[in-house]
């Protein structure tokens, strides 16, 4: 029996030192872990300031463990409870560590994202710089083009000024030429008026004061009966005799008038308002034109230059008398001679 107690006592001595070593190792491990945790907590104190109370509790528990270890008065159950409590605290610390690590990883990821965005912004900035460089090159080209356009505009303005100057000079010359031309035309008109007056004077002297030949303004007016029968355009012998005298005066006048004066003798045929009878002419217009042409053709046959003669037919549309009497009709049937310009 004493041997048995000795064995139990000997067995107790062998068990307890190993347990104490293991517990010491565990405590040292826990202390080491807590030290690491405290170091991590120190560097992350800004993020885990709310965990100071938990660390104080752990420190208190560690102090209790140290007291229990130093006294060696607690039993295995108490140690197991304390180990479980420590494990729970350790798990909580690990959880907190994992959370903090997650926050750190999140911060690192955010940093990576920021770096990526920074790279993208750098690329965008490089692209904008390239676009700006191209824009500056285009602006330089545009500036060169604007300078060229300004030079062209200046040249055009100089050409325009020169053209306006030449235009003013031309206008002045034209005005001068116009004045000189008007003077020359006035002189020609005066000369033609002088020859017209001479021609009419000679005709008046030749024809005398006959009732069937009148002077109306600048025209000699012959009654149609002097040259033609009613409704006819064939010259009568009496009319030919009158035209012979007229042709001689015209031929003599043509020799006196300078060749550069464009004069003509216009022969105008007129009828009365009554419609023509017979099938020879369709209208009074045809009759008046045929009569003026007969007079012109006869004058040409007598030697009057054809380029100095004009035949015109007016029909009944230029009456001298608007009445409806035989006398009015007779006055309107006429051949007019007018010396004028071509």
Q: For residue 206, is pLDDT > 80?
A: no
- Please give the CATH topology (third level) of the domain spanning 209-341: 60s Ribosomal Protein L30; Chain: A; (3.30.1330)
Which residues sit opposite 334 in a β-bridge? 223, 270
Q: Which has the higher per-residue pLDDT, 73 or 170?
A: 170
Residue 243 burial (CB < 10 Å; 0-12/13-18/19+)?
buried
At 183 the pLDDT is: 58
At 92 the pLDDT is: 82
Q: For residue 303, is pLDDT > 80?
A: yes
Which residues sit opposite 311 in a β-bridge? 267
Place of tokens 């409806």: 324
Q: For residue 47, is pLDDT > 70?
A: no
Contacts 24+ apart (CB under 8 A), 225-233: 225/330, 225/333, 226/335, 227/291, 227/294, 227/295, 227/335, 228/291, 228/294, 231/276, 231/277, 231/278, 231/280, 231/281, 231/287, 232/280, 233/280, 233/281, 233/287, 233/290, 233/291, 233/293, 233/294
Q: What is the pLDDT of residues 130-150, one digit of tens each?
A: 877 887 888 888 888 888 888
φ and ψ at 88, to 5 degrees? -60, -45
**Phi-psi region at 310: left, alpha or beta (left = phi > 0; alpha = psi -120 to 50):** beta
At 1 the pLDDT is: 46
Q: What is the pLDDT of residues 252-278, one digit of tens each?
A: 888 888 888 888 999 999 999 999 987
Average pLDDT over residues 304-314: 96
Of the segments 57-61, 71-75, 204-208, 270-274, which one has the largest average pLDDT value? 270-274
Q: For residue 310, is pLDDT > 70?
A: yes
Of the segments 22-36, 41-55, 302-316, which one has the largest average pLDDT value? 302-316
At 302 the pLDDT is: 96
Q: What is the pLDDT of residues 80-133, one digit of tens each?
A: 777 777 788 788 878 888 888 788 777 767 666 767 777 787 787 787 778 778
At 209 the pLDDT is: 61
Average pLDDT over residues 276-295: 92
- C-alpha 83/C-alpha 306 separation (Å) is 153
Q: What is the pLDDT of residues 8-20, one digit of tens each?
A: 555 555 667 777 7
How does DSSP classify residue 218? T
Segments making up each domain of the chain, as ranges? 2-118, 209-341
User: Per DSSP, which regions of the chain are E strands?
Assistant: 213-216, 219-223, 263-270, 309-313, 334-341
Q: What is the mean pLDDT of the chain?
A: 80
């Amino acid at each position: 029996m004493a041997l048995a107690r000795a064995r139990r006592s000997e067995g107790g001595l062998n068990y307890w030192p190993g347990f104490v070593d293991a517990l010491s190792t565990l405590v040292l491990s826990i202390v080491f872990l807590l030290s690491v945790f405290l170091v991590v907590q120190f560097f992350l104190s800004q993020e885990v300031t709310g965990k100071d109370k938990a660390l104080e509790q752990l420190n208190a528990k560690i102090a209790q463990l140290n007291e229990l270890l130093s006294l060696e008065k607690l039993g295995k159950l108490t140690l197991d409870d304390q180990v479980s409590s420590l494990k729970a605290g350790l798990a909580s610390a690990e959880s907190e560590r994992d959370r903090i690590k997650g926050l750190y990883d999140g911060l690192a990821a955010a940093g990576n994202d920021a770096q990526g965005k920074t790279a993208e912004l750098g690329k965008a900035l490089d692209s904008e710089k390239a676009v700006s460089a191209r824009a500056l090159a285009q602006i330089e080209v545009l500036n060169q083009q604007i300078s060229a356009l300004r030079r062209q505009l200046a040249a055009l303005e100089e050409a325009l000024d020169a053209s306006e100057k030449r235009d003013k000079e031309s206008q002045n010359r034209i005005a001068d030429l116009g004045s000189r031309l008007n003077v020359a035309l006035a002189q020609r008109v005066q000369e033609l008026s002088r020859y017209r007056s001479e021609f009419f004077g000679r005709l008046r002297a030749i024809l005398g004061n006959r009732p069937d030949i009148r002077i109306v303004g600048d025209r000699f007016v012959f009654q149609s009966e002097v040259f033609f029968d009613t409704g006819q355009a064939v010259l009568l012998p009496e009319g030919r005799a009158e035209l012979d005298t007229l042709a001689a005066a015209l031929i003599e006048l043509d020799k006196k008038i300078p060749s550069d004066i464009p004069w003509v003798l216009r022969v105008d045929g007129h009828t009365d308002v009554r419609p023509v009878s017979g099938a020879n002419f369709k209208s009074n217009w045809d009759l008046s034109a045929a009569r003026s042409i007969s007079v012109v053709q006869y004058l040409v046959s007598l030697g009057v230059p054809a380029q100095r003669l004009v035949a015109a037919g007016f029909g009944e549309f230029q009456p001298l008398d608007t009445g409806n009497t035989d006398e009015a009709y007779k006055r309107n049937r006429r051949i007019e001679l007018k010396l004028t310009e071509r």
